[in-house]
Structure 1
Amino acid sequence: MHDAHPPRNVSAKSLEDAGQWLLDLQASPERFDEFDRWLHASDDHFEAWAQVSRVLHALEQLPPTTQQQWPRPARRRLPLLAAACISALAVCAALVFNPGWRADYSTATAETREVTLSDGSRLTLAPRSAINVSIDGAQREVTLVRGEVFFDVVHDAQKPFEVRSNDAVIRVLGTAFDVARAENGLAVEVRDGTVGVNKQYRLTAGQRLWIDRQSGVGTQSSVAPTEVAGWINGTQFFENASVAQVVEQLDRYQRGWIVIKDPALANKRVTGLYDMRDTRRALQALVAPIGGEVSAYSPLLIVIGNTTSATEK
């Protein structure tokens, strides 16, 4: 079906700038105010941003699975094709720095996946997660490359089950637990059984461990066993988590990027139960009580800012 309102022509420079902003905002969200000034500088910029966003959104509906399928930039075309190529460049950049494409098992945005290993253990991968698996006569080992996984491990006293992520080693004989790898640390939550982490910590059902990536310090707390891996059913409970931590989780269910303009807002602590399947509603519920607001600049860019600063602008 053809678009009833075909995009108007825009300059190649505006299209190139819009494509570059897609890359820059992902790498440096603190540059949002600079992007905002560029966007409002001319109608040409608005139209270029809209075209690039639409094409990239369409490309993300069909994620490539091998390097040979990656879209490649070709600028010797008409402006609309230029927008598509610049958008494809953004997809390529994401794939190059995305370890998921070369993992044994992985998931895309808003996708979960159940995997049964050869020993009978069952794993559930959260969105944007990836693992490598090594199971043979001598070992049972899973490397968490990124994201979050719930493990329901078959008991085998002769062959412990290990999960590795960065410098953390989680060791069990047979139990049910969740491991989440975040930008600033690693979380382990136990639903059933006993879990050892780095030979320093021993967790039982209803216990949670957070290991800060920068300091390496571990902090233990309690969690209701029924709330462990609640995301499998679509909701997730956060207790005394930063806004940035919650947004990082919600971002796995949102195509594109979520930008937090104010670092102070990002660091505020919250407690609540959020529906991961409705990103926009969850973000509103997250920031509205603490003076934040949610704005969408395109299907690919959601911005969280302070209500007061938005009013003064």
Structure 2
Amino acid sequence: MSSVTDRRDLSPRTVYDLTVGELHTFYVGTVGDYSRNIVVHNCLNIVGDEGIGGAHTLGDGECRGDVAQVCRQGALEKVCRLHLLPRIELMMMSRHEFDEDFGLSGIAGKFQYPHVPLDDAAAAAALVTAMAEERDGTYGIWLLKDVRRLLASPLPDDVIVRLWLAVTATHFDPTRHGMSGRDWMERIAELCADRVPQGDHAAVPDLPEPVIDEGLTKSVLEQVRGVGPMLAEAAVTTSHAVPLADIVAPLEKVIAEVDADLGFRLFLRALKAYFVRISAVRQESLLALGERFGYNRDVVDEGCLNVWPELD
């Protein structure tokens, strides 16, 4: 907190208290041009702990506020969408809580033997289904957000296909199964949406605002251009995958034109997929950039970055 202001000029207005049953802390993210994630300490027994009456948890069946959708599985709240001002979405996990890569970049890292035999469409769909259910369905929500971001973008299909092939080291090519890049993204979205609690598609949070911070976007592009020549060479000289040319340009397009957050994670996944050698200094700069996005350090590295200290 940087400051506290007493706004005596504001007219009285109704405010709401929200307590979530059986969660000690949770994240509230505002949606809009100035979206932020805020960790909230949750008192499960306000009456006993604070001496304030009239408090109820969602587990008691009451919530003070205009609750548009509450998704439940067991006693835990997965997604709660409130139409207050500003409109907020409550999720069980933020970026920082993931201890490995997540979303579209995370699942791309699973597209390798034995998870998915080479070019097996049924196994690919089964993997998406299984991953969408991970972490009580939170993984599927993040994956769905990433895929929706690409589908909502103006990127041509050939760029989406090449992007997918780059981050999976060509392990699964949807075009070999009669699917375009967008068809495959739509299929992933369908499989994720079907795993939303109670099958309620309306419970899926709206798309988060893309990262449009010019400083962050510039920093990610600088990293891509710094390693780009080595990444491009590795993708065409690899001995463990089908050679793939021109993989740097699609990554730059996602970063500059779609979402720097998603683009950065896909770039990291491509580095890991092709075992691109990087220096220890480069590794530290990637970790520092990940912290600016709010990632756990393990999301950036996962022990998979091919670090060669002698390159420094």
Greater RCO, 1 or 2 (C-alpha within 8 Å, sep 6+): 2
- Structure number with the higher helix fraction is 2
TM-score, normalised to structure 2's length? 0.27
- Structure number with the higher strand fraction is 1
TM-score, normalised to structure 1's length? 0.27
